[in-house]
Amino acid sequence: MKYRPLSKEFYINNRSKLAEKLPSNSIAIFNSNDIMPTNADGTMRFRQNNDIFYLSGIDQEESILVVCPDFPNPDMREILFLRETNEHIAIWEGHKYTKDEAFETSGITNIQWLSNFDQVLNTLMALSESVFLNSNEHLRADVQVESRDARFINQCKSRYPLHTYRRVAPIMHQLRAIKAQEEIQQMQVACDITEKGFRRILSFVKPGVTEYEIEAEFIHEFVRNRSKGFAYEPIIASGANACVLHYIENKEACKDGDLILFDVGAEYGNYNADMSRTIPVNGKFTKRQRSVYDAVLRVQRSAMEMLRPGVNIQDYHKEVGLIMQSELVNLGLIDQTDIKNQDPKWPAYKKYFMHGTSHHLGLDVHDVGTMYEPISKGMVFTVEPGIYIQEEGIGVRLENNIVILEDGYFDLMRNIPIDAEEIEELMRG
């Protein structure tokens, strides 16, 4: 792995927290992700399933984790199944975990090859009542492809039809929503790498450079700092492109007088950063651009102060909307008549600020964790207000990643330039 892994004690503790939440005589089973095909004999880069990674640290395909906390034989309460390697695999694909290496990574003492899985599962199932299986239950998920977990659900139910089957996803969402200090440190590294990329492009951007050249500068800095690359498809949107929320073509030349909106983040150790910044192509904001920019920055800073333990995220989004509404009135984009006549389900401010302000961040960019229960200490959120004025070709979004503390927040992106004056100064060199 390029990244420096966390200690096995972290994963031991995570499995312990899972075991505490399982009812008596339960078994929970987690599968790695598939290696997805492209065309012909091509494949996508492997990305581990985040739940098995969270519980074991194992970052390899064809892996299965079984947790059976009440099994009479203590040696059988945690078992990790791995793909057995051989000389052919070593030559063509490279090194795979040995059993000793898997123990050092996960802290699991019972490591077996996948060829033993069916036999061992039969033994465990005979003394288990509730079977907890995994599925993608993210609120935004639009699942079109059958996953390894989904195939296993069908196989398990067919083979053992009389057991009680239950969902492990709600438990994993609870556990993963609260970040341990080790996770926050990995995310800090991802944010620090993102900062290096942003500072690099501040001295690179000028009229005439292309969006894809800027993208190349980011990826260069990310990879040279042990990241696998972008945490998600990067948005490098100059001019009116910034008004397209998920613009990822990154193909245009940047014009003198325009703004560029960046929504980029590095991953590190499978944890993600998620940054948005907006800068002037020529290094100097116009008066109008600066007015819009400062309005977004004020909304962001107000929003950060509002995120506290006990706050309901839905109420928070409504309150941020009211702050944005005031800023848009001051910018002359909406007026009191617009507000008076607005549809309550789609307030007037949403013409210029149509997305949410915050989402969970972690192993997933839009990380698991409920958006309907109160915020808790240890959660990590993005804070990303924006104003998009299509008729003026102006789009501004500013996004930082913050950790919720007992009495405030900690900004993981506190060192990434965001004040307009600092950005202009750094672009002047």
Which of 11, 268, 388, 409 is flagged as catalytic? 388
Q: Is 317 a catalytic residue?
A: no
Which of 274, 89, 305 shows the shortest CA–CA distance to 198?
274
Q: Is 425 a catalytic residue?
A: no
The one-letter code for the residue type at 277 is: R
Q: Is 61 a catalytic residue?
A: no
Q: Is 138 a catalytic residue?
A: no
Which of 221, 267, 364, 384 is flagged as catalytic? 384
152 vs 127: CA distance, rounded Å: 20
Q: Is 355 a catalytic residue?
A: yes
Q: Is 263 a catalytic residue?
A: yes
Q: Is 101 a catalytic residue?
A: no
User: Which residues have CB under 8 Å from 149's CB, separation 6+?
Assistant: 30, 31, 49, 133, 134, 135, 136
Which of 77, 176, 277, 397 is flagged as catalytic? 397
Which of 166, 200, 301, 366 is flagged as catalytic? 366
Q: Is 215 a catalytic residue?
A: no
290 vs 37: CA distance, rounded Å: 46
Which of 78, 215, 258, 399 is flagged as catalytic? 399
Which of 78, 263, 267, 364 is flagged as catalytic? 263
Which of 163, 212, 355, 411 is flagged as catalytic? 355
Which of 4, 167, 220, 246 is flagged as catalytic? 246
Q: Is 384 a catalytic residue?
A: yes
Which of 267, 274, 327, 364 is flagged as catalytic? 274
Q: Is 407 a catalytic residue?
A: no
253 vs 211: CA distance, rounded Å: 6
Which of 173, 176, 277, 359 is flagged as catalytic? 359
Residues tagged active-site:
41, 246, 263, 274, 355, 359, 366, 384, 388, 397, 399
